[in-house]
A and B are shown apart, each in its own frame.
Chain A
Amino acid sequence: MGRVLLPIALVAGVVFAPVCTRAQHPLSLKSVSVDLPPGADMFPNGPGADAVNNNCLACHSADMVLNQPALSKAQWQAQVNLMRTAYKAPIDTKDVDAILDYLVSIKGGK
């Protein structure tokens, strides 16, 4: 997965123009294999944390939520609805209220 430098001539030899310019030199690409950080941290403890951990972390890490600004309950409700309807998060209906209460408790607005 080493970075492959193209020949300097490739970048040095073309005539400048604001649109695409041609450059023909040998070039090879290398297969790459990487590891991504798992992002498996749990949400901070609190009432409803289990519901949030069980329903939210499959699709995204907790930091996405923890970096959000304070939002009103209506805004959090809209986000939970977005996750369920648009992004098909299989959130158990009985968990929705617990998730919402948790989000408001850690990131509630006025």
Chain B
Amino acid sequence: MEKVFPSGFRSSRRHFLRGAGAATLALSPAPAFADAMTKLPLPGGPDERPITTAFPQKGAVILQRTRPPLLETPFEVFDQSVLTPNDRFFVRWHWAVIPTAVNVDTFRLTVHGHVNQTLSLSLNDILALPRVELVAINQCSGNSRGYFQPRVPGGEWSHGAMGNARWTGVRLKDVLDRAGVKAGAIQVRFNGMDEPVVPDAPDFMKSLEIDHARDGEVMLAYAMNGAQMPLLNGFPLRLIVPGWYADYWVKMLNDIEVLDQPDTNYWTTTAYRIPDTPHANVRPGETGVKFVPISRMVPRSFITNIKEGDTLQVGASTLARGIAFGGDSGVSRVDFSSDDGKSWHDAALGTDEGKYSFRQWQHRFTPPAKGAQVLKVRCTNSGGEAQPDMPNWNPSGFMRNVIERTAVVVA
């Protein structure tokens, strides 16, 4: 409880972390056990999940679904570093036909549609483009779905369908410029090498507006945290859409189509939609609500070193620490409460790794009296948006960002 972040908490940590990003990967823990179970405190259950080490290029992760893989990052990983190690980074695939081999010599990325010239780019062509890096959070739209009440069907995630990585690759803008986007282009559609088992099922594709695609931040990444990206995270190329939910971050990207008409594919027009209401919140069963595509992320924060049910010592100086993120903007402040939200205290923030990154925070407090208590943490982003007091609800279990509570016992 008394130790600070294993990775340190000094602002001078920047250079250490940059070197450590790669080193952490090489040394990342990979417990030998394969059959252990973990408990996710999902209301009503089932709450048991296997911890698995059976997936390639992956260490110990929570098995949500074997095929196509849904692998969750165990929550304690978020206490260990601001960057999520590649081998613990969550995995989510839609369709079960996933290429299990990538040949870096024969792979081609096709860029076509409303462009001056169709491109077929090798990985060497892409490596020859200006290389860029960005730290950004990749979070599933349905992260924490298992905490929705009433419960909703879907991947029953705890809070580990997210991760933060330093992505290395090229700007999408540079690739599009090389093809030459024609006047009248309105969207860009992205397709990966995964395929549905049933041939006439909708292939997984996502689209971005043309200006978003050309904003200079959206990337095609081939490496994360200083190492070649694991296949299950999208190697050889993954679309990086900073500040937006992970459904847009198309994996094994091999086809980019510039459109002069709106994309009407299933995954853009029908799936991944949220109520067009504050916090994407509706009452269960509510009808007549307009739905819109999910897009920008919203602020969240977590305590990572104190777990639900932990015992704290009365009168003892106690360190709480964790991570926060602003969503589509940076972290402005993090407030901590050790009395169920009656009083809030400004937490110290760790190194700023960029507005799309996790931001570590910490706060020292002294529990004054014995008994049950609730710890809370609240992030306010640089746009002034704070986490809400009340949980949202929608039929797909998307976009949870309520102030989370950690019930403890002071003894």
Determine the chain A residues whose CB is within 8 A of the CB of B102 once the complex forms. Answer: 31-33
In the complex, are the beta carbons of B198 and A29 less than 8 A apart? no
Segment from B221-229, B274-282, B316-324 that makes contact with A = B221-229
- Are B96 and A18 in touch, CB under 8 angstroms? no
Closest to A71 in B: B153
B228 x A29 contact (CB < 8 A): yes
Binds A, one of B63-71, B177-185, B307-315: B63-71
Q: Which residue of B lies closest to A13 (CB)?
A: B18
With a cutoff of 8 Å between Cβ atoms, the chain B residues found around residue A4 in the complex are 227-228
Q: B270 near A: Cβ within 8 Å?
A: yes
Contacts of B197 in A (CB 8 A): 58-59
Q: Which of B130-138, B366-374, B402-410 contacts A (4 or more CB under 8 A)?
A: B130-138
Q: Are A29 and B104 in contact (CB under 8 A)?
A: yes
| A27 & B127 in contact (Cβ 8 Å cutoff) | yes
Interface residues of B in 121-156 (CB under 8 A from A): 123, 127, 130-134, 146, 151, 153, 155-156
A19 touches B153 (CB 8 A): no
Contact of B26 among A3, A17, A25, A35 (CB under 8 A): A3
Give the contacts of A67-96 with B (CB-CB under 8 A). Answer: 67-71, 75, 79, 86-90
CB atoms of A11 and B100 under 8 A apart? no
Smallest CB–CB gap between B271 and chain A, Å?
A: 8
Contacts known (A1-B57, A8-B19, A8-B22); A59 close to B131, Cβ less than 8 A: no
B199 to chain A, nearest CB (A): 8
Min CB distance A89 to B, Å, is 7
Of residues 55 through 75 on chain B, the ones whose CB sits less than 8 Å from some CB of chain A are: 55-57, 63-70
Given contacts A29-B236, A31-B103, A34-B231, contact A6 B168 (CB under 8 A): yes
Total interface residues on A, using CB and 8 Å?
52
CA distance A3 to B123 in the complex (A): 17
Q: Which residues of B contact A67 (CB under 8 A)?
A: 46, 49, 64-65, 156
A5-B22, A5-B25, A87-B201 as given contacts; A31 in contact with B104, CB under 8 Å: yes
What DSSP secondary structure best describes chain B's contact surface?
loop
Q: List B residues 38-60 near A (Cβ within 8 Å).
A: 42, 44-46, 49, 52, 54-57
Q: Is the interface of A mostly helix, strand, loop or mixed?
A: loop
Q: Min CB distance, B19 to chain A, in Å?
A: 5
A20 touches B69 (CB 8 A): no
Contact B54 A37 (CB under 8 A): yes
The 0/1 profile, CB within 8 Å of A marked 1, for residues 67-98 of chain B is 11110000000000000001000000001101
The 7 closest A-B pairs by CB, nearest first: A39-B66, A39-B67, A34-B56, A20-B132, A69-B151, A18-B354, A33-B101
Given pairs A22-B132, A64-B64, A69-B45, 4 additional interface contacts (CB within 8 A): A21-B134, A31-B103, A32-B102, A34-B232
* Residues of chain B having any CB pair with chain A under 8 Å: 14-15, 18-19, 21-23, 25-26, 42, 44-46, 49, 52, 54-57, 63-70, 86, 95-96, 98, 100-105, 123, 127, 130-134, 146, 151, 153, 155-156, 166, 168, 171, 196-198, 200-202, 216-217, 219, 222-223, 226-228, 231-232, 235-236, 266, 270-271, 330, 352-356
A-B contact pairs, 12 of them (CB 8 A): A1-B57, A11-B21, A11-B226, A16-B14, A17-B354, A18-B330, A19-B134, A20-B217, A29-B104, A36-B56, A36-B67, A66-B46
